Structure 1
Amino acid sequence: MRYIKDIPHQQFKISIYQWNNKYIIKIEAGMFEQTYKIDEYEITNLEEIEKCMDVPFLTKVAGRFEAMQGDFGDTLQRNDVVF
């Protein structure tokens, strides 16, 4: 996997990679991450990916991170795991 660049953001670490004829967008928040894959032929330049990292999309990403944290916390609690 080849690192391409980071997209600056206040809340998340957003990185773009290239691998296996795909661009991989990795969005990290704390110990959680979300990954999105786009076929190289679907975009003409990296600016299109950056343009997609808009407020409505990243708001949904934030909500998904909150759900992930809740789900993980629930399973830790349910199974008496101290983390």
Structure 2
Amino acid sequence: MTMDNVRRLYERFESDKELRKKLYMAEGKDAREAALREAGLFFTDAEFDEMIDPLHVKCQTVEEAERFFEFRNWWDMLRRS
């Protein structure tokens, strides 16, 4: 399920620096989607938006919420570029 890929990317956000670098360096939406596909994590912007609330609700501490918002803001920055 592609929406689950949002969760999987979130789980890999801190540990997979190479994937973060590929996504950051991707020029435009098509290149970003290709990097996600290559990593087996493809999802659409709409699916990302749909997963925001379920992921946020799972945060149990302030630290988890801060990490989640860092991830969300990072992705929002990438998809605007």
Give TM-score scaled by structure 1 length. 0.28
Quick check: which one's helix share is greater? 2
Quick check: which one's strand share is greater? 1
Larger radius of gyration: 1
